[in-house]
Amino acid sequence: MQSETGEDQVLAFTIPGRDARGRLVRLGPVLRKVLEAHAYPAPIRDLLAEALVLTALLGALLKDPTGQLTMQAQTEQGIVDLLVCDYRDGELRGYVRHDADRLAMLGARPSLFALFGQGYLAITFDLAATGQRYQGIVPLEGDSLAAACQAYFVQSEQVPTLIRVTVGEGRDGLHAGALLVQHLPDGEEGRERLHARLDHPEWEHVAALAGSITPRELLQDDLTLEGLVWRLFHEEAEVRIEQGPALTKGCRCTAEYYRSVLARFPAEDLESMRDEQGQIVVDCAFCSKLFPIAI
């Protein structure tokens, strides 16, 4: 018998009678493992936690297991000038670059606009199997990254979408939970969705049910993801569920990889990169490790 889904795993579900699909995910140990590589202050830590659970949620939409989902939020003059997360085959990684001095001048719970100012969110799907690459860019508007992601699907892909995210402290430390529900009218997944309607009666019904989810339910450790789907949609005639891959912290940095990258540079460029010991030191922003490379 298949075990029920708890933390650090995605649960996919579809509601055939409503032409809807969804994803649920909770991050626990994996989230804390990614965050422990950085001594982020609380507002930046929580921002990255939200971005990581969203990346897992969107990455789980990939049908190509070798594909990659990258989320990047960027601005030129914000306190946070760069946030990057990616997902590939269940592996998550991410980091934030910010101005610590300016951040210290804000309160304990700065708004998204206070952190980024006028920024943008780019979501990129790289499909390794076909070599295709899709990217959508939307303004960083609203009160959360989740709101910007929701706008991305509505504006860039013409897919009615509802996203809910919660980040909070649990018994074992920081947790994050997220729900995504989408309407794919007439089973049109994979085709252009030019006739998708935000006011479609089937979508209004599903969105009302999904929108009733509470922050506590998203993080409730004694409520499995299957149990949460049942709680939201138990009145539907049919709901199909499928467990996604287990999620892990994934940083692909190795000395061998960096050596292969540096080997492509001209000799004069390599010479300018060397330190006093003749090595080139590469700093991985994702895992906060230094890699001395002799080349």
Domain that holds residue 274: 255-293
Question: Considering its fold, how many domains does the chain have in total?
Answer: 2
Burial class (CB in 10 A: 0-12, 13-18, 19+), 254: exposed
For the chain, the average pLDDT equals 86
264 within domain boundaries: yes
Predicted TM-score (pTM) of this structure: 0.87
- Same domain flag for 242 and 264: no
161 within domain boundaries: yes
Phi, psi of 76 (to 5 degrees): -95, -30
Q: Give the pLDDT of residue 103.
A: 94
Strand pairing category for 248-249 and 91-98: parallel
67 within domain boundaries: yes
Q: How many helices (H) and strands (E) does the chain have?
A: 10, 13
> CATH no. for residue 151?
3.55.30.10
Which pLDDT tens digit goes with each residue over 202-242? Answer: 899 999 999 999 999 999 988 999 999 999 999 999 999 99
Q: Is the pLDDT of residue 10 over 50?
A: yes
For the chain, the helix, strand and coil percentages under 3-state DSSP, each to the nearest 5: 30, 30, 35
Phi, psi of 139 (to 5 degrees): -65, 150
